[in-house]
Structure 1
């Protein structure tokens, strides 16, 4: 049996699709980048995973800009990526590749990455902000990702105002 030495990580944002094959140390072995503004971002994503996948991949992690239903593996709402709303990324990937799949909001995924391998390693609690096509945030408290919506780009500034 082949040892599982790699993981595939994907960042599906409002402007770019990035997919990378990483080793056990978190170092990028190979990467793929494309525009996510095309309506075929899902097909591009599946194709990129297919290019990077081998029997040595232990799992696939997907970070998507928007509100995620983790239990169903579905993007519930994504203002900057309307073409992926309702898409069941996790099930679609599991059908093609026999490894565990995890889907998370992109800012939450970034916060987890910082906790495991980055600047957040030395802190039990911190807040991470993402600034790109949209604004997002992830909150780690007591060493764990808080299951809260930190979608900073979609909060009301004026009480009773436009949402």
Structure 2
């Protein structure tokens, strides 16, 4: 049986973080790298270099990735992966953050605003496994929250309900 891993990418305002998580939910590798907002191509090249380095350092191969999750400081359409809105991500509006990564690594890729991804992570492998209703608050460069009720992220048609950080 072939071993599998998951890649987690957290894109902040000035840093990108990359993690490799083993199937047993063990953190195998983690790194943080500074980046400067540039063109779309520069952002994707930084992501590709970070993922490739994470794979190399963790001993996993591209073929062993089961999926990639990306936390971004922007509202993302979950179906298309397109950045819909972000105060610092206007240069990526209308661009799919997931498609180029899915194409390069041939795996499913999911993206959402960072506190919602954090809430999903807690629901999948953290304290959220103990309940099906909780709120996760984040406080960093900005504010954010992920709200889980009955095991589902609470959203509205505009996909903005739990993304209050830049609207306060």
Scaled to the shorter chain, the TM-score interval is: 0.7 to 0.9
Unaligned runs of 5+ in 2: 56-60
In structure 1, how many angstroms separate the alpha carbons of the residues matched to 2:25 and 2:90? Answer: 31
Does 1:70 find its partner at 2:69? no
Worse overlay, 57-66 or 144-153: 144-153
Name the TM-score, length of structure 1 as normaliser.
0.85
Aligned length: 155
After superposition, residues 135-146 of structure 1 pair within 5 angstroms as 135-146=143-154
In structure 1, how many angstroms separate the alpha carbons of the residues matched to 2:53 and 2:146? Answer: 30
Unaligned runs of 5+ in 1: 157-163
After superposition, residues 143-162 of structure 1 pair within 5 angstroms as 143-148=151-156, 149=160, 150-155=162-167
1:5 counterpart residue number: 4
In the TM superposition, what whole-angstrom CA distance separates every residue of 1:100-159 from its partner, at most 9, and x where no partner exists? 111122111000111111122212101111111111111100112223421222225xxx
RMSD (CA atoms): 1.9
Change in Cα spacing, 1:102 to 1:131, as seen in structure 2 (3 Å) is same
Contact 1:13 1:81 in 2 (8 A): no
2:53 counterpart residue number: 51
Name the TM-score, length of structure 2 as normaliser.
0.82
| TM-superposed deviation, 1:15 | 2.8
In structure 2, how many angstroms separate the alpha carbons of the residues matched to 1:81 and 1:131? Answer: 19
